[in-house]
């Protein structure tokens, strides 16, 4: 729920108000702000009322003596247990919100309160006695938090636009961030597209005093240590998974407003809905899905999820609401880019936007999502590809170099050969670089060639894989290869990509999206399971599938994985062609100065005739230029608030 902003330093009430206004869509129900006595600390809040809908949940919230103030975005799922413990210690409460529980936890534990929370959150706590701000982001990064530290001081916000559009930070682009978005489609770790704006990473916290970060630390990390084992038998592990998912769903249904769910008909969302239906008592769970009606999609072999979603809905006795769209959904691209804050080139974000919009119109403020299943249990093709390395990774590097060279030359028109090429094109790299390279959507050398000479000259000397390699240096040395990849999934692909668009698209419509499969206790349990329980041969999420056999139809559990597929190449040269010809014209590219006009035109032409698989790279270039026009040139999309429910 909600949007938060604030500062420490030489700013004023007008600065705070501008930032708050820019996240108003995140909290249409209430707003508030506070300034410290000396005016050097400010906090503001936009509220989406989920728990304790009364005025007693108003933020910023303060302790009775006015010493400690908090702004908080998220939900704490174990707040009732924490409250009971605090009450036994003599703490008194005015209302029934989880915010007040966090506030009193701070009084008791200080920054160590973070060790007691199970939930999704971004928070800021101002302690007038010590004149410090505690800033923190939840364990897996479900809730976003951006910040900037400059000469004037420190500012933070739930969304980057609150810092950038308020004029408090110059919109100077970071070529390393540009290259990252071209390579991965997202920016890894704390880096963003803007030089002076960073993301607080998942599981991290910081102390700010007098406009400066004085301490920064990681308070949580995923541990894959498997000794002692989490259970003594396979049956016990299967039951442990089922019990963990059930408990997570039950925790995350706590709300004083109706709770609905995404339902694609895949395993992850279906499992969440199965347990949600158990705890809905006499009410039918309201579920939401999307149907893409597009002839190009059918011709390119994309399979619709709708029949599976309908089958699960009937099996579980829940109501299913469907958004039916065609290629006109791409007309919402400018809104998608605006609300994402970052130019993430993934049409799946439009799916989340349209579903959240329908849920909001139906009166649903909270949606349960199946996000995270592939990232903790396995499920992506790269997990299977990594397991297949045992057949060739032992070969001498010279031989692996030849394999990589052959893989790079395979034709892209054939889907199977394209996947083989992606799996083997980095075969000659060492283990950690190879694992990191699986996350590259565009080969780094190809992405580099698209940059202009001026942009290349400003790049740091750091390897584009370095942010992921730094992350891989954290787990224990004996961690299995697949667990190392899952660690990267959670730290980067999940936090920097999937969770970012899931949160932003939901909040654009006044809907909070919760992710039961990323419950802290469940994540910690699954991390310690044996690798062959997660990926068994070509079967990903093997133990999750076994755990759900008593609850879901067999054909739903064991159906082939299908992401949200759109015929992007066809759309680029039909529905999106006018945008491509405008935004990526040589004149436009030259004027922006970020990319090489000739290299971009060559990529477009080769992709158009099928000589290269460059559709997502072209789409990424398009999204970045659209982002630049919005956030640098100020050409914001019309009626950017029209999608607020």
- Give the integer Cα–Cα distance in Å for 177 and 589: 17
The CATH number of the domain where 71 resides is what?
A: 3.60.20.10
Banded pLDDT at 645 (limits 50, 70, 90): very low
Structural domain including 436 reads 381-487
Nearest-10 Cα torsion for 577, 578, 583, 587 = 110
E strand or H helix at 401, and its extent?
helix 397-408
3-state percent helix, strand, coil for the chain, nearest multiple of 5: 45, 15, 40
Report the pLDDT averaged over residues 398-406: 86
Q: Which regions of 331-411 does DSSP assign to beta strands (E)?
A: 366-368
- Same-domain pairing of 479 and 500: no
Q: Does position 281 have pLDDT exceeding 90, yes or no?
A: no
Q: Does position 535 have pLDDT exceeding 90, yes or no?
A: yes
- Same-domain pairing of 68 and 176: yes
pLDDT in tens, 338-350: 999 999 999 999 9
pLDDT in tens, 67-118: 999 999 999 999 999 999 999 999 999 999 999 999 999 999 999 999 999 9
For residue 535, tell me if it sits in a domain: yes
Q: Does position 469 have pLDDT exceeding 90, yes or no?
A: yes
- Same-domain pairing of 19 and 97: yes
- Same-domain pairing of 371 and 263: yes
Place of tokens 């991290």: 204
List the one residue out of 611, 601, 594, 605 whose CA is nearest residue 182: 594
Report the pLDDT averaged over residues 244-250: 98
Banded pLDDT at 588 (limits 50, 70, 90): very high
- Give the integer Cα–Cα distance in Å for 592 and 330: 24
What is the residue-averaged pLDDT of the chain? 92
Cα-Cα-Cα-Cα dihedral sign, residues 51, 52, 54, 58: negative
For residue 229, tell me if it sits in a domain: no
- Same-domain pairing of 19 and 137: yes
pLDDT of residue 304: 78
DSSP state of 497: I
pLDDT of residue 465: 95
For residue 645, tell me if it sits in a domain: no
DSSP state of 94: S
For residue 421, tell me if it sits in a domain: yes
pLDDT of residue 641: 44
Range with the poorest average pLDDT among 71-85, 299-313, 542-556: 299-313
DSSP state of 505: H
Give the percent of the chain with pLDDT over 70: 95
Residues 6+ apart with CB under 8 A from 75: 1, 50, 51, 98, 119, 120, 121, 252, 254, 255, 512, 514
End-to-end CA distance of the chain: 14
Does the annotation count 287 as an active-site position? no
- Same-domain pairing of 401 and 474: yes
pLDDT in tens, 212-221: 999 999 999 9
- Give the integer Cα–Cα distance in Å for 334 and 332: 6
- Same-domain pairing of 301 and 418: no
List the one residue out of 21, 129, 26, 13 whose CA is nearest residue 69: 129
Maximum CA extent, the chain:
72
551 token code pair: 């609850």
Q: What backbone phi and psi angles, to 5 degrees, belong to 458?
A: -95, -5
- Give the integer Cα–Cα distance in Å for 80 and 101: 8
Angle at 235 between CA 229 and CA 241, to 5 degrees: 70
Cα 6 off chain centre by: 22
pLDDT of residue 393: 86
Q: Does position 150 have pLDDT exceeding 60, yes or no?
A: yes
pLDDT in tens, 362-391: 999 999 999 999 999 999 999 999 999 998
- Give the integer Cα–Cα distance in Å for 284 and 316: 9
List the one residue out of 148, 150, 79 whose CA is nearest residue 119: 79
List the one residue out of 286, 485, 476 whose CA is nearest residue 387: 485
For residue 278, tell me if it sits in a domain: yes
Last residue of a domain, one of 456, 472, 487: 487
| Helical axes 499-507 vs 333-340, angle rounded to 10° | 110
Give the percent of the chain with pLDDT over 90: 78
E strand or H helix at 402, and its extent?
helix 397-408
Q: Does position 564 have pLDDT exceeding 90, yes or no?
A: no
- Same-domain pairing of 553 and 572: no
Q: Catalytic residue, from 2, 237, 287, 440: name it.
A: 2
pLDDT of residue 295: 66
254 token code pair: 């706590």
Residues 6+ apart with CB under 8 A from 477: none
pLDDT of residue 643: 45
Q: Does position 3 have pLDDT exceeding 80, yes or no?
A: yes
Cα 430 off chain centre by: 28
341 token code pair: 């804050």
For residue 643, tell me if it sits in a domain: no
Last residue of a domain, one of 218, 248, 263: 218
- Same-domain pairing of 187 and 244: no
- Contact by Cβ (8 Å): 354, 323: yes
Banded pLDDT at 54 (limits 50, 70, 90): confident
pLDDT of residue 447: 96
Banded pLDDT at 416 (limits 50, 70, 90): confident
Banded pLDDT at 395 (limits 50, 70, 90): confident
pLDDT in tens, 312-337: 999 999 999 999 988 888 999 999 99
Number of folded domains in the chain?
Answer: 4
- Give the integer Cα–Cα distance in Å for 464 and 146: 22
- Same-domain pairing of 171 and 283: no
- Give the integer Cα–Cα distance in Å for 120 and 117: 9
Last residue of a domain, one of 184, 218, 252: 218
- Same-domain pairing of 275 and 254: yes
For residue 306, tell me if it sits in a domain: yes
- Same-domain pairing of 330 and 398: no
């Amino acid at each position: 729920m909600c949007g938060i902003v604030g500062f420490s330093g030489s700013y004023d009430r007008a600065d705070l108000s501008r930032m708050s206004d820019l996240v108003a869509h995140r909290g249409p129900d209430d707003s508030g702000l506070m300034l410290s006595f000396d005016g050097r600390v400010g906090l503001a809040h936009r509220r989406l009322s989920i728990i304790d809908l009364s005025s007693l949940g108003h933020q910023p919230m303060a302790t009775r003596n006015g010493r400690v103030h908090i702004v908080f975005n998220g939900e704490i799922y174990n707040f009732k247990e924490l409250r009971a413990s605090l009450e036994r210690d003599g703490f008194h409460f005015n209302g029934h919100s989880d915010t007040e529980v966090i506030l009193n936890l701070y009084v008791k534990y200080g920054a160590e309160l973070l060790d007691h929370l199970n939930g999704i959150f971004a928070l800021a706590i101002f302690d007038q006695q010590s004149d410090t701000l505690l800033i923190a982001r939840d364990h897996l990064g479900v809730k976003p938090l951006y910040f900037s530290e400059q000469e004037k001081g420190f500012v933070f916000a739930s969304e980057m636009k609150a810092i950038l559009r308020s004029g408090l930070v110059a919109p100077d682009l970071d070529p390393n961030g540009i290259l990252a978005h071209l390579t991965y489609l997202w920016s890894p770790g704390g880096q963003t597209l803007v030089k002076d704006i960073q993301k607080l990473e998942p599981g991290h916290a910081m102390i700010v005093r007098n406009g400066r970060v004085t301490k920064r630390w990681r308070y949580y990390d995923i541990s894959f240590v498997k000794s002692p084992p989490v259970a003594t038998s396979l049956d016990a592990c299967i039951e442990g998974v089922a019990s963990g998912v059930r408990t997570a769903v039950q925790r995350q249904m706590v709300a004083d407003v109706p709770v609905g769910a995404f339902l694609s008909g895949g395993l992850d969302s279906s499992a969440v809905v199965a347990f949600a239906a158990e705890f809905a008592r006499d009410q039918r769970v309201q579920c939401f899905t999307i149907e893409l009606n597009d002839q190009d999609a059918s011709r390119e072999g994309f399979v619709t999820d709708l029949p599976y979603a309908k089958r699960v809905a009937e099996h579980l006795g829940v109501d299913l609401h469907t958004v039916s769209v065609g290629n006109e959904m791409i007309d919402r691209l400018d809104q998608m880019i605006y609300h994402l804050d970052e130019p993430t080139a993934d049409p799946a974000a439009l799916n989340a936007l349209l579903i959240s919009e329908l849920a909001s119109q139906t009166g649903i403020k909270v949606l349960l999502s199946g996000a995270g299943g592939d990232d903790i249990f396995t499920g992506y093709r790269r997990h299977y590809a990594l397991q297949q390395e045992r057949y060739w990774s032992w070969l001498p590097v010279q031989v692996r170099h030849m394999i990589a060279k052959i893989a790079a030359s395979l034709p892209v028109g054939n889907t199977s050969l394209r996947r083989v090429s992606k799996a083997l094109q980095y075969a000659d790299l060492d283990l950690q670089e190879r694992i990191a390279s699986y996350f590259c959507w565009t080969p780094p050398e190809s992405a580099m060639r698209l940059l202009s000479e001026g942009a290349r000259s400003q790049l740091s000397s750091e390897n584009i894989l370095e942010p992921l390699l730094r992350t891989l240096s954290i787990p224990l040395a004996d961690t299995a290869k697949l667990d190392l990849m899952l660690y990267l999934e959670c730290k980067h692909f999940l936090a920097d990509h999937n969770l970012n668009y899931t949160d932003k698209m939901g909040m654009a419509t006044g809907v909070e999206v919760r992710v039961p499969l990323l419950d802290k206790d469940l994540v910690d349990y699954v991390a310690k399971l044996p690798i062959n329980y997660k990926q068994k041969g070509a079967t990903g999420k093997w133990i999750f599938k076994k755990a759900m056999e008593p609850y879901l139809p067999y054909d739903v559990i064991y159906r082939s994985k299908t992401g949200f597929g759109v015929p992007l190449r066809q759309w680029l040269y039909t529905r999106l062609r006018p945008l491509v010809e405008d935004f990526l014209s040589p004149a436009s590219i030259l004027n922006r100065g970020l990319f090489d006009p000739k290299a971009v035109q060559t990529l477009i032409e080769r992709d158009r005739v099928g000589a290269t698989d460059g559709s997502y790279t072209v789409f990424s270039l398009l999204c970045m230029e659209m982002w630049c026009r919005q956030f640098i040139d100020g050409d914001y999309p019309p009626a950017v608030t029209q999608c607020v429910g």
